Structure 1
Amino acid sequence: MKSVRFSTFGGPEVLEIADVPDPHPGPGEIRISVRAAGVNASDWKKRQGLMDQELPQTMGHEAAGVVDELGEGVTEVAIGDRVYGFAASGGAQAELTVLFCYEKIPHSLSFAEAAALPAAAETAARALDQLGVDSGATVLVNGASGSVGGAAVQLAVARGARVIGTGSPATHDFLRSLGAEPVAYGPGMSDRVRALAPDGVDLALDIAGSGVLPELIQLAGGPEHVITVADFAGAQQYGVRFSRGDGGHALYVLSQLGELIEAGKFTLPVGQTFPLTEVAEAHRVGESGRVRGKLVLLPG
């Protein structure tokens, strides 16, 4: 089968479409014919050698497609079902992949829309869990208009929280549609947040990694009330928790998304799609930040 792979670290030009052996599912796993696979910032960090160091590497952690092989003990889905979820071996950007965590695709979603969901929703749910976001809390989401930020806003609202979200003025109508009260980022952000919440906020989640952790700490009343998913150096400097998957996952969120989506309470826009063969261009677009919404590869 064809799969995205790189054998040396570097720019998008090191990505290739390689022939690799077909994968097969183990117990509890399924194999899908991939119709769409999400592209994430972790992909270009891996390609640059900033994360895993082994070579060669295949790419992708989330995909949507049609079940074509079942592992031992799988009874909840059948051959031919439309499903989405997390790849078992980081090889989702391929013609075939094995999923270890999966759900049926909600009827209203396309394959591309479904493939955009898992990583963003899991990251958001994990960070909200670590913060302890619950009904009645006032939460500030810094960087609310991106995929992870948008997921965090909607999942927090679904928990009964009040959400204030930062974004550029051009995103404010979008943020309102997700259930957030928008404020512009940049100089004076703290004053704008206090205009909505004079006593500050209960909790703050940094998605953007834009160097505002000191402001978030002040607004939330201490570093213990702040989590970042994007600013590792700042977290170390200011004593803020950095949320990462090796500290525990929130894979359960996939089982919640279907009901929220069908009720009109959760959406993540697809920004742009690319054929699998144009994965290098998808990386260039993603790194440039030119497109709002999730980038998705379409293998077939």
Structure 2
Amino acid sequence: MPQLPDAVMWSIPAFVLLTVLEVISYRIHPDEDAAGYGAKDTATSLSMGLGSLLFDFLWKFPIVAIYTGVYALTPLRVPVVWWTIPLMLLAQDFFYYWQHRGHHVIRVLWACHVIHHSSRKFNLSTALRQPWTSLTSWPFYLPLIACGVHPAALAFCSSLNLVYQFGIHTERVGKLPGPVEFVFNTPSHHRVHHASQGGYLDRNFGGILILWDRLFGSFAAEAERPVYGLTKNIATFNPLRVATHEYAAIARDVASARTWRDRAGHLLRGPGWSPRPEGPAA
């Protein structure tokens, strides 16, 4: 198959340049209602992004081994040519939607993804606040490998998806023309996704397309101004604590649970779940 580039690595200079330009835009035209930038918050986001590059490199070895094994076993093959790449990107975006949604509604997966939502700011640097335990995402894409998509082609499509999403982490872009807002994930839609208000929670999971949310009932339009962050914010800028705080909370809850059902609930139910106090002792 042809050599495919890592779009994320090639885009890093553009990420840096656009972030600097956005910072300058806030200096020239401040917006009192916007979340803007904070020095400690931005430093944490950059640290999380650099850390994710290292950990993603380490997680790559077992994930590639599994994908390669599945790809070797399937008799199907999807050729990597000009007309199949858009179709593979569409399929990857579909499975990204379910991966993203799963990471919001299953607490042990949320422990990975919560890092990305831990900032109370919303700007281009927030896009770089990536988890260090992305090992939880690979099972969602196994159907693509089983259907004959080469692991390198999947990696290429995933990198394109991430590059696209960098640009939607901003308050400097308002709502776009109607057809664009209807089909694509936009800054307006993604501001809703990062908001902590009740009506905005667990909405707009799409990567490139917002059509999946419209189809599967998870869409919400931006109306009231979003309040960013978590329903229970963490008071730290320490990257290690940001990366692990939800895992630590799960461990405490599992240790204090009274039944095995409650222990499983703390792992597999939603982030806000708690057992009924009258449960019998284990």
Name the TM-score, length of structure 2 as normaliser.
0.28
* Higher normalized strand content (fraction of residues): 1
Which structure has the higher relative contact order (CA within 8 Å, separation 6+)? 2
